[in-house]
Every structure is written in structure tokens, then in C-alpha cells.
């Protein structure tokens, strides 16, 4: 198996943006703890591409693509469901609402306050979880199978209820 390319543990917004850092690497799904709660293929990889830049000369931004194949539980029949994930994003790290308002609508805004850095894994995990539907299910009518016994209703709390910019999942479709 090819060796994982290292991504830095932390993203330093201003440093990376000023230097226009480009990162290319991957994680094993098992390294992203919140993802292992919903994905069962822990040994597979998540590929990550990140390009940093300054917007308006002062606001750090990152454009990125995350690719992975996740094996989730279908919330209708509870069988495994393979999801071909491709998440594209353009994030601006704004100090405050005022900075956020000055930005183009295309940006997803992270309000960072006084923080200088962010755990890379947290950013990647957040973006993946935001792109997965709350109740993933097969795109065929799998719910008609009745020979599986009682289907246990599983209520999973969406981890990002608090975020206001919930993205609509495109589930790998462009
Ligand atoms: Zn199903």
C-alpha cells in the first residue's frame, strides 16, 4: 500500500494564505474520529487537496477538494451503502461578521475570531460531514424489503446543527 502523504497537523490561516501554500495528502478514515462513527471502511483513504490564498489582500481563504469512498449505513434498510464522495469548497476565514459581509457569496464562512490556527483534521471532517445527507439511503426503493425483521429506527444527531451555512449535499455529482 502506498504511504500516506503527510498533511500538517494545523492550518495557520495567515501564514498559509500569504505564502499561497498548496497541500496534497491523505488520511485514513480511521484517523478522522468523527467520521468513523458513521463510516465502516476505516482502512480506506480520504484524499485532500488544499490551496490557500488571501482574498481582498487580507482575508485568508482555502479552496479544496476532498475525495473518498465511504461505506455508510442506509437509514432505510440498514444495509451498507457506498457513497462516492467528492466535496469541493471555498472557505474564507473571517475574523468577524463585518469581514464576512465584505466577501462574495460564493464563500463558505468560518468565523475564526482571534484564532490563528485550526486542526487540519477538524476542517476536513467538518467538510465531509456537511456534505453527507443526514439520513443517507439507497437511490432505489430498498425500504420494500420486509424480510429483515423490524427495522430499528436510528436517530442520529447531526453534528452541525449549530452551523448556519449548512451546505446542500451534492453527493459527488457536479
Ligand atoms: Zn437501503
Give the pLDDT confidence score for residue 174 in this predicted structure: 46
Give the pLDDT confidence score for residue 133 in this predicted structure: 85
Q: How far is the CA of 168 from the centre of ligand 1 (A)?
A: 21
Q: Residue 102, Cα to own-chain centre: how many angstroms?
A: 25
Q: How far is the CA of 140 from the centre of ligand 1 (A)?
A: 7
Q: How far is the CA of 146 from the centre of ligand 1 (A)?
A: 12
User: What is the tens place of the pLDDT at every residue in 36-77?
Assistant: 999 999 999 999 999 999 999 999 999 999 999 999 999 999
Q: How far is the CA of 128 from the centre of ligand 1 (A)?
A: 21
Q: How far is the CA of 55 from the centre of ligand 1 (A)?
A: 43
User: What is the tens place of the pLDDT at every residue in 74-107?
Assistant: 999 999 999 999 999 999 999 999 999 999 999 9
* Long-range own/partner contacts, residues 76-81 (CB < 8 A, 24 or more apart): 76/135, 76/137, 76/138, 76/142, 76/143, 76/151, 77/137, 77/138, 77/142, 77/143, 77/145, 77/148, 77/151, 78/148, 78/151, 78/152, 78/154, 79/138, 79/142, 80/40, 81/136, 81/137, 81/138
Tell me the DSSP string of 85-149.
Answer: EEEEEEEEEESSHHHHHTS-TTPEEEE-TT--EEEHHHHHHHHHHHHS-SS---SS-GGG--TT-
Q: What is the mean pLDDT of residues 116-130?
A: 96
pTM: 0.78
Whether pLDDT at 32 is above 50:
yes
**Cβ–Cβ under 8 Å, residues 97 and 85:** no
Amino acid at each position: 500500500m502506498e504511504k500516506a502523504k503527510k498533511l500538517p497537523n494545523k492550518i495557520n490561516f495567515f501564514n498559509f494564505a500569504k505564502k499561497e501554500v498548496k497541500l496534497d495528502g491523505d488520511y485514513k478514515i480511521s484517523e478522522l474520529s468523527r467520521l468513523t462513527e458513521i463510516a465502516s471502511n476505516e482502512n480506506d483513504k480520504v484524499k485532500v487537496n488544499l490551496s490557500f490564498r488571501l482574498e481582498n489582500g487580507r482575508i485568508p481563504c482555502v479552496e479544496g477538494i476532498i475525495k473518498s469512498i465511504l461505506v455508510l449505513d442506509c437509514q432505510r434498510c440498514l444495509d451498507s451503502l457506498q457513497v462516492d464522495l467528492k466535496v469541493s469548497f471555498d472557505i474564507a476565514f473571517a475574523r468577524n461578521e463585518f469581514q464576512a459581509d465584505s466577501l462574495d457569496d460564493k464563500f463558505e464562512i468560518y468565523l475564526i475570531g482571534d484564532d490563528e490556527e485550526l486542526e487540519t483534521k477538524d476542517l476536513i471532517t467538518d467538510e465531509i460531514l456537511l456534505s453527507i445527507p443526514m439520513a443517507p439511503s439507497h437511490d432505489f426503493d430498498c425500504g420494500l424489503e420486509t424480510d429483515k425483521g423490524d427495522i430499528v429506527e436510528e436517530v442520529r444527531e447531526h453534528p452541525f446543527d449549530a452551523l448556519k451555512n449548512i451546505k446542500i449535499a451534492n453527493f459527488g455529482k457536479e
